[in-house]
Amino acid sequence: NAGVTQTPKFQVLKTGQSMTLQCAQDMNHEYMSWYRQDPGMGLRLIHYSVGAGITDQGEVPNGYNVSRSTTEDFPLRLLSAAPSQTSVYFCASSSTLETQYFGPGTRLLVL
Amino acid sequence: DQQVKQNSPSLSVQEGRISILNCDYTNSMFDYFLWYKKYPAEGPTFLISISSIKDKNEDGRFTVFLNKSAKHLSLHIVPSQPGDSAVYFCASQIGGNYQLIWGAGTKLIIKP
């Protein structure tokens, strides 16, 4: 059981570039979500999914897109990167509304 | 406006003593509370939780206390061990709602 995996671990982008952060889980969890963590702040929910084909916005969705075509995968797309999107991104999955299991994170630097 | 506040950015405790981490919330609709622990370069891991119908929950060395009237919860770690050195986040949730609202975290340092 790998749990929740995220790739890449670290990425540098130039302003305006696009990229996809990958997230996969092998626990057959229905719920998956993306968070960002900025210095001095708690994690903030970007988007989440309650099952394949169903996604919804969290607290800070602007500038990000998601899709959930399979139970296992939940990619996060940055359409046109901005310096304000420099952050650490965490993907999480869970079988209930409460306890979530997190991946190791992706550090993103936008220049 | 921060709905969940952890007012101590860091806390230093001697090994073997009790560590007490505090968390305050403002939204009276929150009815489920969780503590997560995070090591550097890793994702948060779930530690312990408490429902608003309880005022205490224990799991080994970890105990969470909830004071609903004060909108305050605390995590007690007894005895503190070197491996407990990490950042601790409290998070709150409204029942039936997936979104967790997180505090900014407290960095716990256990001194030998």
Per-residue pLDDT reduced to its tens digit, B18-36: 999 999 999 999 999 999 9
Q: What's the sign of the alpha-carbon dihedral A74, A75, A78, A79?
A: negative
Report B:69-98 residues touching A (Cβ under 8 A).
Answer: 89, 91, 93, 96-98
pLDDT at residue A39 above 90?
A: no
Mean pLDDT over A107-111 rounds to 97
Higher pLDDT pick, B42 / B97 = B42
Length of chain B as a residue count = 112
Mean pLDDT over B45-69 rounds to 96
Which of B44, B96, B98 lies at the smallest CB-CB distance from A48? Answer: B98
Q: How confident is the model at residue B108 (pLDDT cuts 50, 70, 90)?
A: very high
B90: which residues sit within 8 A by CB, 6+ positions away? B4, B6, B21, B23, B33, B34, B35, B36, B73, B75, B102, B103
Interface contact flag, A45 B96, Cβ < 8 Å: no
Q: How confident is the model at residue A96 (pLDDT cuts 50, 70, 90)?
A: confident
A99, A2 contact by CB (below 8 A): no
CB neighbour class for A30 (10 Å; exposed up to 12, middle 13-18, buried from 19): middle
Q: Which residue of B has its CA nearest to A93?
A: B98
From chain A, the residues in CB contact with B59 under 8 A are none
pLDDT for B21 equals 98
From chain B, the residues in CB contact with A60 under 8 A are none
Q: How confident is the model at residue B63 (pLDDT cuts 50, 70, 90)?
A: very high
Instruction: Report the residue of B10, B36, B100 to disrupt the A interface, i.e. the one with the largest count of A CBs within 10 Å.
Output: B100
pLDDT for B101 equals 92
Interface contact flag, B41 A105, Cβ < 8 Å: yes
A34, A66 contact by CB (below 8 A): yes
Mean pLDDT over A66-92 rounds to 97
Distance, in Å, from the CA atom of B25 to the CA atom of B32, rounded to the nearest integer, reads 11
Mean pLDDT of chain B: 95
Mean pLDDT over A65-81 rounds to 97
Distance, in Å, from the CA atom of A58 to the CA atom of B98, rounded to the nearest integer, reads 9
The answer to whether residue B39 neighbours chain A at the CB level (below 8 Å) is no
Which of A97, A102, A103 lies at the smallest CB-CB distance from B98? Answer: A97
Q: Are strands A106-110 and B86-93 parallel, antiparallel or unpaired?
A: unpaired
Q: How confident is the model at residue A53 (pLDDT cuts 50, 70, 90)?
A: very high
Q: How confident is the model at residue A33 (pLDDT cuts 50, 70, 90)?
A: very high
How many Cα atoms within 13 Å fall on the side-chain side of residue B112? 1
pLDDT for A41 equals 87
- Three-state SS string across chain A, please? CCCEEEECCEEEECCCCCEEEEEEECCCCCEEEEEEECCCCCEEEEEEEEECCEEEECCCCCCEEECCCCCCECCEEECCCCHHHCEEEEEEEECCCCCCEECCCEEEEEC
The answer to whether residue A61 neighbours chain B at the CB level (below 8 Å) is no
pLDDT for A63 equals 96
Mean pLDDT over A81-98 rounds to 92
The answer to whether residue B65 neighbours chain A at the CB level (below 8 Å) is no
Distance, in Å, from the CA atom of A33 to the CA atom of A81, rounded to the nearest integer, reads 20
Q: Are strands B72-77 and B62-67 parallel, antiparallel or unpaired?
A: antiparallel
Interface contact flag, B100 A58, Cβ < 8 Å: no
From chain B, the residues in CB contact with A31 under 8 A are 98
